[in-house]
């Protein structure tokens, strides 16, 4: 399947799946949820029971002169009152968003003394969707008029902005279950490209491939955390959820920055922008770690730094994309399509947190869609870049092989040259090439003088073809220079093999080189080395011994072979008498 067709089909499947997911995602506020009747903040330190009892006596239709309704997080305590309607079903749970606070108290206010239940932040449990937590309400009786919730020392407004009462916990209804199943399918689709990443990395070891895999994992963890899918495997208290949420988001930002800066082609991004993005994302990661630690003495500072630092980081991303696009980068186009929606989610979260009086917005529905777009676009980008780099690498390797081939081969005959055989000599000896022959054409100078060097070159090429056979892996032919050749032979009856090749030269030359008035013969000297002595001699020693036999063959009449078999090799060596073939 072509890459484009794969992308189109995957995009269609994702679009159809997301249409179901977004249509079935439960609303943060259902018809049976109870919203606060009034709220207030106070820096007054008084016993919890007295503060909650006083909150139960508020008149929500009138201003409370002794209470601050601005929601200033610098205040110690924040009160929310929910008035109950006797004609409606009573709520059973309080639900809100996870953010660091010291403690939470829930009270049922009626005719008698308030029924108060206190909870530490680390004791509370998370629930499904939108990184929410759930708190069971105290027992509600017929005379219960209101529920008062007091949050002590919150560090973010999200816990206060999304507080509500409900009679059904998230994840129980059929629509909720279907939405969780579909979110799980989306998460699975996100993780599938990792198989391609690891396959690509085995072939092409580029860091951007691993950074892309890290980015996909971080986004999947963020999606699993915000949707509460992890609750199908284990329960988690709010501190664990908070660490998972912050950690996965910061890891997503850092991996996205490192992926982008390594994915854009070299020369298409100014180095100062590349470094600025990497340093800013590293600083964001450091602030995130401090934020995850949840140090009470730091108060709101870590969360403020977390969101405020995200703004210049996004501007750096935009500058990076603009610079690379202006420089003609192809890779950055995939990044703009893939990371653009993710950056939009980050901008919504940061702006809603920074602007005073604006309810915090997580934009999790947009985030779900953005993750699928990101994985699709960047996976196609990685595949495209992989193919481009692989083609470039293969081209370089091919050119390198051609150059090496030119260096190691004789340009006239195509045989290996002396440089090649000397560098491979030891390996060939270990592979069993234990017969070494030096061959020289007889009276070749007369052919050049009588017929010209062009005809002589044709004779040399014909000789080379007689000495080589593509199906014969037991013989290696080498041209040393001029009319001199070397044969290295292994296997059974190597001397006979060498003699057969020498004897084939006159017929091959006569067949391939017309116009000669004489046969072209060759003389040869052969050294046969026993297996047990195969490491005893180097190339130069064997060549000298074989060359001596070659000239002996020439001096005794030419067109013949003389060979000897070494019996042992020592200081002076000992050998059998030369034999003429």
What is the per-residue pLDDT for 2?
A: 43
Query: Residue 340: is its pLDDT beyond 70?
Result: yes
Say if residue 534's pLDDT is above 70. no
Tens of pLDDT, residue by residue over 186-229, are: 888 888 877 877 877 887 788 888 898 899 899 899 989 988 89
pLDDT band at 279 (very low <50, low <70, confident <90, very high): very high
Q: Is the pLDDT of residue 533 over 70?
A: no
**Ordered alpha helix ranges (H), 173-270:** 174-191, 193-203, 207-227, 238-263
Instruction: Specify the pLDDT at position 508.
Output: 92
Report residue 459's pLDDT band, with 50, 70 and 90 as the boundaries.
Answer: very high
Cα distances (Å, whole numbers) of residue 405 to 414, 417, 463, 488? 9, 10, 21, 19
Per-residue pLDDT tens digits for 384-426? 877 777 777 777 677 676 666 666 788 888 888 888 888 888 8
177 to each of 77, 162, 375, 383, 404, how far by Cα in Å?
36, 22, 25, 35, 64
Q: Angle, nearest 10°, between helix axes 331-354 and 301-326?
A: 150
Element holding 526 (H helix, E strand): strand 522-528
How long, in residues, is the chain?
Answer: 581
- Domain 38-166 is found in CATH 3.90.550: no
Split at pLDDT 50, 70, 90, the class of 19 is: very low
Q: Is 188 exposed, middle or buried (0-12, 13-18, 19+ CB in 10 A)?
A: exposed
pLDDT digit string (tens) for 477-505? 999 888 999 999 988 888 999 999 999 99
Phi-psi region of 555 (alpha: psi -120 to 50; beta: other; left: phi over 0): alpha
How far apart CA 573 and CA 564 sit, in angstroms, is: 13
Adjacent-strand bridge partners of 439:
485, 524
Q: What is the pLDDT of residue 399?
A: 64
pLDDT exceeds cutoff 80 at 518: yes
Confidence tier at 137 by pLDDT (50, 70, 90)? very high
Examine the pLDDT at 177 and tell me if it is beyond 60.
yes
Which strands make up the sheet holding 132-136, listed edge to edge? 125-127, 132-136, 93-97, 164-166
CA distances from 180 to 16, 21, 135, 249, 309 (A): 16, 9, 21, 20, 32
Please give the pLDDT value at position 506: 92
Residue 12: pLDDT band by 50, 70, 90 thresholds?
Answer: very low
Q: Answer whether 488's CB lies under 8 Å from 468's CB.
A: no
Please tell me the predicted confidence (pLDDT) of residue 44.
Answer: 67
CA distance 315 to 317: 5
**Looking at residues 137-143, what average pLDDT do you find?**
87
Q: What gap in Å lies between CA 579 and CA 581, rounded to an integer? A: 7
pLDDT at 69 over 50: no
Per-residue pLDDT at 31: 47
More confident residue, 366 or 524: 524
The pLDDT assigned to 303 comes to: 83
Residues 26-38 have pLDDT tens digits of 444 554 678 888 8
Determine the Cα–Cα distance for residues 13 and 272; give it in Å rounded to an integer: 40
pLDDT average, residue stretch 568-576: 49
Q: Give CATH 3.30.70.270 domain extents, the chain.
A: 418-580
Q: Is the pLDDT of residue 251 over 80?
A: yes
Per-residue pLDDT of 86-111, as tens digits, reads: 767 789 999 999 888 999 999 998 88
Q: Mean pLDDT score of the chain, rounded to an integer? A: 82
Q: Are strands 77-83 and 125-127 parallel, antiparallel or unpaired?
A: unpaired
- Name 440's bridge partners: 484, 523
- What pLDDT is recorded for position 250? 92
Pairwise CA distance, residues 369 & 365, whole Å:
7
**Model pLDDT, residue 370:** 84
Q: What percent of the chain has pLDDT over 70?
A: 86
Poorest-pLDDT segment among 148-152, 224-228, 570-574: 570-574
Give the pairing of strands 93-97 and 435-441.
unpaired
Region 495-524: mean pLDDT is 91
Flag whether pLDDT at 45 surpasses 80.
Answer: no
Band the pLDDT of 581: cuts 50, 70, 90. Answer: low
Retrieve residue 213's tokens.
Answer: 């895999």
Q: What is the pLDDT at residue 356? A: 73
pTM: 0.65
Topology annotation, domain 418-580: Alpha-Beta Plaits (3.30.70)
Averaged pLDDT, 113-138: 90
Tokens at 398, concatenated:
């091919």
Looking at the chain, the domain(s) classified CATH 2.60.40 span 38-166
């Amino acid at each position: 399947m072509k890459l484009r067709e794969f992308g189109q089909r995957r995009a269609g499947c994702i679009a159809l799946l997301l249409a179901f997911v977004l249509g079935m995602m439960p609303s943060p506020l259902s018809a049976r949820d109870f919203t606060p009747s009034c709220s207030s903040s106070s820096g007054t330190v008084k016993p919890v029971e007295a503060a909650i009892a006083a909150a139960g006596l508020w008149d929500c239709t009138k201003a409370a002169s002794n209470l601050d309704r601005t929601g200033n997080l610098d205040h110690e305590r924040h009160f929310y009152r929910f008035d109950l309607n006797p004609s409606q079903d009573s709520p059973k749970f309080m639900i809100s968003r996870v953010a660091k606070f010291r403690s939470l108290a829930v009270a049922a206010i009626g005719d008698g003394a308030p029924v108060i239940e206190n909870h530490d932040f680390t004791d509370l449990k998370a629930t499904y969707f939108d990184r929410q937590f759930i708190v069971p309400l105290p027992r509600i009786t017929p005379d219960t008029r209101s529920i008062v919730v007091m949050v002590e020392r919150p560090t973010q407004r999200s816990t206060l902005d999304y507080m509500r009462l409900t009679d059904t916990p998230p994840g129980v209804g059929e629509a909720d279950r279907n939405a969780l199943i579909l979110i799980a399918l989306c998460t699975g689709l996100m993780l599938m490209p990792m198989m391609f990443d690891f396959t690509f990395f085995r072939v092409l070891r580029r860091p951007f491939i691993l950074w892309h895999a890290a980015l996909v994992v971080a986004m999947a963890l963020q999606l699993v955390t915000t949707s509460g899918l992890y609750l199908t495997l284990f329960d988690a208290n709010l501190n664990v959820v908070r660490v998972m949420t912050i950690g996965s988001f910061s890891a997503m930002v850092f991996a996205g920055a490192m992926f982008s800066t390594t994915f854009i082609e070299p020369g298409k991004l100014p180095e100062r922008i590349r470094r600025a993005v990497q340093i800013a994302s590293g600083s964001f990661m450091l602030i995130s770690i401090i934020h995850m630690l949840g140090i009470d003495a730091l108060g709101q500072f870590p969360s403020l730094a977390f969101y405020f630092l995200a703004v210049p980081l996004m501007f750096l991303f935009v500058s990076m994309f603009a610079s690379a696009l202006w420089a003609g980068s192809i890779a950055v186009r995939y990044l703009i399509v893939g990371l653009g929606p993710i950056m939009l989610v980050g901008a919504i979260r940061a702006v809603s947190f920074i602007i005073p009086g604006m309810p915090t917005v997580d934009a999790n529905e947009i985030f779900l869609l953005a993750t699928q777009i990101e994985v699709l676009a960047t996976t196609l980008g990685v595949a495209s870049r992989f193919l481009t780099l692989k083609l470039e690498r293969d081209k370089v390797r091919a050119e390198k092989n051609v150059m090496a081939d030119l260096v190691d081969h004789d340009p006239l005959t195509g045989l290996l040259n002396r440089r090649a055989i000397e560098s491979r000599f030891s390996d060939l000896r270990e592979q069993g090439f234990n017969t070494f022959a030096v061959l020289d054409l007889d009276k070749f100078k007369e052919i050049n003088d009588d017929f010209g060097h062009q005809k002589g070159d044709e004779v040399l090429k014909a000789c080379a073809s007689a000495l080589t056979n593509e199906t014969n892996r037991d013989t290696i032919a080498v041209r040393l220079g001029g009319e001199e050749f070397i044969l290295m032979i292994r296997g059974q009856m190597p001397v006979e093999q060498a003699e057969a090749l020498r004897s084939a030269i006159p017929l091959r030359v006569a067949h391939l080189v017309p116009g000669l008035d004489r046969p072209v013969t060759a003389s040869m000297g052969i050294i046969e080395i026993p297996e047990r002595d195969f490491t005893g001699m180097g190339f130069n020693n064997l060549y000298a011994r074989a060359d001596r036999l070659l000239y002996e063959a020439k001096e005794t009449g030419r067109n013949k072979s003389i060979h000897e078999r070494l019996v042992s090799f020592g200081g002076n060596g000992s050998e059998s008498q030369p034999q003429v073939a």
